[in-house]
Chains A and B, each alone.
Chain A
Amino acid sequence: MTRVPAVEGWFTTDPDAPQLIGAQCPKCSTLVFPPRENVCPNPSCDSDTLEPTLLSRRGRVWSYTENHYAPPAPYVAADPFVPYAIAAVELEHEGIVVLGQVARHVSASELHVGMEMQLELDTLYTDEEHEYLVYVWAPAAPSAGSAGGAQ
């Protein structure tokens, strides 16, 4: 079974330190996620090219929830359905809030607004040939600077 991203070009698949792939405007420097190749979103900029760029792996929780009902297709829900958490995380440097599922081993009761998170990869679903990967948020491993610093 081959591991492939469930969507092309949104994140790197390095299993140890995956990163979101955004786009940056070469003219005004603004950033955008999900990535795209053209048309800068800044209304005061007329650049028609955007360049791929890697985004911060860490950020802080803007909000979160836990979904208790199986979504309709095109979501591929586990059977029986298992609730999963979703978090909106504000990236450390980009001023972008990115929505993602939360790693399956983490429940919403472990989260709070402002908590530091980092990007991981998880399996979204599998079929006969492929394991489809998606980026997920997980509580960040404590870094040297924040060790023991409960927020």
Chain B
Amino acid sequence: MSRDIAILGAGMHPWGKWGRDFTEYGMVAARDALADAGVAWTDIQYVAGGDTIRNGYPGFVAGSTFAQKLGWTGVRVSSNYAACATGAHALQQARAQILAGFCDVALVIGADTTPKGFFAPVGGGDRKADPDWLRFHLLGATNPVYFALYARRRMDVYGATAEDFAQVKVKNSRHGLHNPYARFRKENTVEDVVNSPVVADPLRLLDICATSDGAAALVVSSMEFAEKLRGSTAGLAKVKAVSTVTPRYPQTVLEMPDFATDSSAVVAPPERTYKDSIAHGAYEEAGIGPEDLDVAEVYDLSTALELDWYENIGLCGEGEAEALLRSGATAIGGRIPVNPSGGLSCFGEAIPAQAIAQVCELTWQVTGRAEGRQVEGARVGITANQGLFGHGSSVIVSI
């Protein structure tokens, strides 16, 4: 039995930094996705909201917040939080409802308004049992500190250079130049990157993604509903897989916001690292492999992390990402373009919207609508993402 669901519509509010009510951005994305789908809000049977934890109660109950904002219809809702993987978890929630037959058509939505500067722990007071609070208090370990540990390891172990990292930014800045939803649309040079201030050595300001306001939405349905609506499902993007795997014990790669890894002294490490297992779960579900991909959207919280993802999603072997980048394979026009949207490098991160935005981009890519950044002939794409506290996500979309 096919477990495909149809992506009827995709919509986004441009990313930026305005500090307005997050629901305003969400409404723009929702209305765009509904219009793209040709489905009225009053016909939506389920809303899966991606939560934002920085905007008070409405953010914690995003499903109902958006249902109310669009006008109460009695629609059923859920609200999901999985840190950076929130959007994909919301999509999985809608997909499960559709495949279980509880609903035919659903709206998946995430929006955020973010503070300036480093993300700080959410909530006040001393919380000595909360690793996210403690890592700031005891270590001053900001998010870029963790990104920098991974980057430095690439340098010392695989011979990556600051210029390699800068070339990721150069590539993504070119990709995002014509994306109307991108916040940063300026072509950067290697010199721009290597001369920007050091944030957490070896990473510099232009190596690290900003925090942004933004919103993304999808209208998804059963294949039967899609066929009834459009007369045919030909040419529609479909969700083939959603992986939301957690780590297996022992998790031996240090993960934000932890102080330590699990111990590998007694129980042997699993066959795959956690980040490898995220995409593996999606490939297994879709019954395809990395060789079948035409395009990928990966979570480049830093330039160096994009290189880690090349290996984690199987585009190349361990330690080979720099060579793959240098070959031009991951630029538009290359063998397997990565982040044709411009990635987080051009967007900055709007947490609950970002994983949905990755799926929006794949939807436009596989339906040939990614104007100014189209990967020629793209039919199959993957997203990959990792959020705090063991939240991974990977979505496979194909025509």
Cβ of A77 within 8 Å of any chain B Cβ, yes or no, is: yes
CA gap between A138 and B138 in the complex, in Å: 17
Closest residue of chain B to A107 (Cβ to Cβ) is: B201
Q: Is the CB of B197 within 8 A of A68?
A: yes
B139, B152, B202, B267: the one contacting A42 at CB < 8 Å is B267
Contacts of B141 in A (CB 8 A): 67, 71, 86, 99
Contacts of B262 in A (CB 8 A): 32, 41, 96
CB distance from A9 to the nearest CB of B (A): 10
Cβ of B145 within 8 Å of any chain A Cβ, yes or no, is: yes
A32 with B137, Cβ < 8 A, contacts A72-B117, A88-B149, A95-B252 known:
no
Cβ of A31 within 8 Å of any chain B Cβ, yes or no, is: yes
Which residues 109-139 in A have Cβ within 8 Å of B in the complex? Answer: 112-114, 124, 134
Q: Is the CB of B140 within 8 A of A71?
A: yes
CA gap between A99 and B120 in the complex, in Å: 19
By size class, the interface of chain A is 35 or more
B135, B140, B199, B266: the one contacting A31 at CB < 8 Å is B266
Contacts of B145 in A (CB 8 A): 65, 67, 86
Closest residue of chain B to A65 (Cβ to Cβ) is: B148
A65 with B200, Cβ < 8 A, contacts A28-B266, A71-B118 known:
yes
Known pairs A7-B138, A86-B149; list 13 more (Cβ under 8 Å): A28-B266, A44-B267, A63-B152, A65-B151, A65-B203, A67-B145, A68-B197, A72-B142, A73-B136, A75-B136, A86-B141, A88-B149, A114-B156
Contacts of B258 in A (CB 8 A): 99
28 example contacts (A-B, Cβ-Cβ < 8 A) are as follows A29-B266, A30-B263, A30-B266, A31-B265, A32-B263, A34-B259, A41-B250, A42-B249, A44-B267, A62-B254, A63-B150, A63-B152, A63-B254, A65-B149, A66-B198, A67-B140, A72-B142, A73-B120, A76-B137, A77-B140, A86-B139, A86-B140, A86-B141, A95-B263, A96-B263, A97-B252, A99-B139, A101-B140
Contacts of A114 in B (CB 8 A): 156
Q: Is the CB of B138 within 8 A of A134?
A: yes
Which residues 45-72 in A have Cβ within 8 Å of B in the complex? Answer: 62-69, 71-72
Q: Is the CB of A96 within 8 A of B260?
A: yes
Contacts of A98 in B (CB 8 A): 259-260
CB distance from A27 to the nearest CB of B (A): 11
Contacts of A100 in B (CB 8 A): 139
Closest residue of chain B to A43 (Cβ to Cβ) is: B249
Q: Is the CB of A63 within 8 A of B153?
A: yes
Closest residue of chain B to A136 (Cβ to Cβ) is: B139
Q: Is the CB of A96 within 8 A of B153?
A: no
Cβ of B99 within 8 Å of any chain A Cβ, yes or no, is: no
Cβ of B157 within 8 Å of any chain A Cβ, yes or no, is: yes
CA gap between A41 and B265 in the complex, in Å: 13
Q: Is the CB of B265 within 8 A of A93?
A: yes
Cβ of A108 within 8 Å of any chain B Cβ, yes or no, is: yes
CA gap between A96 and B262 in the complex, in Å: 6
Cβ of B39 within 8 Å of any chain A Cβ, yes or no, is: no
Contacts of B327 in A (CB 8 A): none
Q: Residues of B within 8 Å of A, CB-based: how many? A: 48
Contacts of A68 in B (CB 8 A): 197-201
CB distance from A23 to the nearest CB of B (A): 10
Closest residue of chain A to B198 (Cβ to Cβ) is: A68
CA gap between A32 and B266 in the complex, in Å: 11
B120, B254, B267: the one contacting A88 at CB < 8 Å is B254
Cβ of A140 within 8 Å of any chain B Cβ, yes or no, is: no
CA gap between A136 and B279 in the complex, in Å: 36
Contacts of B249 in A (CB 8 A): 41-43
Cβ of B42 within 8 Å of any chain A Cβ, yes or no, is: no
Which of B140, B261, B262 has the most chain A CB atoms closer than 10 A to its own CB?
Answer: B140
CB distance from B139 to the nearest CB of A (A): 6
CA gap between A93 and B135 in the complex, in Å: 24
Q: Is the CB of A94 within 8 A of B263?
A: yes
Q: Is the CB of A95 within 8 A of B265?
A: yes
Contacts of B136 in A (CB 8 A): 71-75
Mask of B341-378 contacts with A, CB within 8 angstroms, 1/0: 00000000000000000000000000000000000000
Contacts of A108 in B (CB 8 A): 201
CA gap between A114 and B265 in the complex, in Å: 18
Q: Is the CB of B259 within 8 A of A33?
A: yes
Contacts of A71 in B (CB 8 A): 118, 136, 140-142
CA gap between A100 and B263 in the complex, in Å: 17
Of B19-27, B126-134, B187-195, B216-224, which binds chain A? B126-134
Q: Is the CB of B140 within 8 A of A95?
A: no
CB distance from B152 to the nearest CB of A (A): 5
Q: Which 9 A-B pairs have the closest CB atoms?
A: A95-B264, A65-B148, A113-B156, A72-B120, A74-B137, A71-B140, A95-B265, A63-B153, A63-B149
Cβ of B121 within 8 Å of any chain A Cβ, yes or no, is: yes
